Structure 1
Amino acid sequence: MKYDLTKKITKGARRTLDAFFNSMLELLSNKSFEEITVNELCQQSNYPRATFYNYFDDKYDLLNYCLYVLAKQIHLEEYKNLDPEESLYIFFDRMYDLITARQDMIQHILKFNSGENLLLSHFRIYMNIQMREIFCQCQCKDRYKIPYEIVAEHYCNTILLILEWSFLKKNSCSKIQAHEYLKYLLRSL
């Protein structure tokens, strides 16, 4: 991301970032990501294009920021020192809760961004990278009989599979039931 999120964020920068974040979510509720333009994002957020480009390289950069904000809401940074299996179950539970809490907004976004479009593909890639980072931080690579990278990929794909099945494919599934599905699919490791 163009804006350095590692430094302390001023109140003004926070307002600007929040405005662009909210504008992206609002526009995604009304049209596909592919159709959204930087001009629309600026108009929706009441900031000029120059301000947008002070913070983001393009709309993809803003999308990465939006995913970063969502990852912060489930406190991904807390998982890095936990056992990878434990952290991925916590990750799954928090993702499930976040999706449940924002279900109306997500349904509006999916109305215009369903299927195999760029937005969902970008989301999968971003979350997969985040989950793999959790695995790479742990010190238990010797526990598995197969290459560690395959285990990490399997865990990531399984979590996303159950979340997509539960929410994107609109299968009625409680959190407890989804958690049981996850345990069943991951028990071979």
Structure 2
Amino acid sequence: MKYDLSKKATKGAQRTLDAFSAAMFQILSGKSFYEITVNELCQQSNYPRATFYNYFDDKYDLLNYCWQCLYKQIHLEEYENLSPEERLSVFFDRAYDFVEANQTRLKQILKSNTEEKVLLLHFRIHLGAKLREIFYLGGCIERYALPYELVADHYCNTILLILEWRFLKENDCPKAQALQYLNLLLGALNMNEKKGV
């Protein structure tokens, strides 16, 4: 990404970033990601192409930024001082609430992108990377006899499996029950921590 996100954005820069990410999600609600052009993103956000390229390399770069915006909405940065169990529970709780609150829009986006699985795959890759970061920072890498990347991918896939089952397949399941399912599915991993293997 051309814009340096490590520094605090000015109000103008934040407005611009917000406008482009909102434009991406708006267009994705009715169109495949592959069909979206930079010109459409610029028209939807009311910014010229030059401004787009001041911030992003291409539409994939903007999509990466969109995923980062989603992570900010569920406050992933707050997990550093929690135990792995608490971290997972809070993360799942917030992810569940986010998906529930945005269920209609997420279904529209996925409906518009059914043929190409790039969007869901792209999201899985970013979520997996974010979970690996959370596990690494939280000291989970010493906890399991398995590589922490494998553990993070397992957690990521299991979380997404339950969210997809609940919201995309429309199974009636309150959040507490969904968390219980998550704990049951991850139970085998928790039984095989380093000390027990």
Per the normalisation by structure 1, the TM-score is 0.93
CA distance in 2, matches of 1:47, 1:178: 42
1:69 equivalent to 2:53? Answer no
Q: Partner amino acid for 1:129?
A: A
1:138 equivalent to 2:138? Answer yes
Residue range with higher mean Cα deviation, 91-100 or 143-152 = 143-152
Structure 1: runs of 5+ lacking an equivalent:
none
Residue by residue, what CA displacement relative to the aligned partner does 1:59-104 show, whole Å, maximum 9, x if unpaired? 0111111110110010011113322232122111101100111112
Q: Flag as ranges the 4+ runs of structure 1 deviating above 4 A.
A: none
Q: Which residue of 2 aligns with 1:152?
A: 152
Percent of pairs with identical residues: 66
CA distance in 2, matches of 1:144, 1:20: 40
Aligned length: 189
- What is the CA distance between 1:115 and its match in structure 2? 6.1
State the Cα RMSD in Å: 1.6
1:108 equivalent to 2:113? Answer no
CA distance in 2, matches of 1:156, 1:148: 12
- What is the CA distance between 1:43 and its match in structure 2? 0.8
1:55 equivalent to 2:49? Answer no
Per the normalisation by structure 2, the TM-score is 0.89
Q: Partner amino acid for 1:19?
A: A
Alpha-carbon distance change, 183 to 109 in structure 1, aligned in 2, over 3 angstroms: same
Residue by residue, what CA displacement relative to the aligned partner does 1:83-139 show, whole Å, maximum 9, x if unpaired? 223212211110110011111211221220236611111011111110111111122
Q: Which residue of 1 aligns with 2:36?
A: 36
- Where 1:121 maps in the other structure, the secondary structure is helix
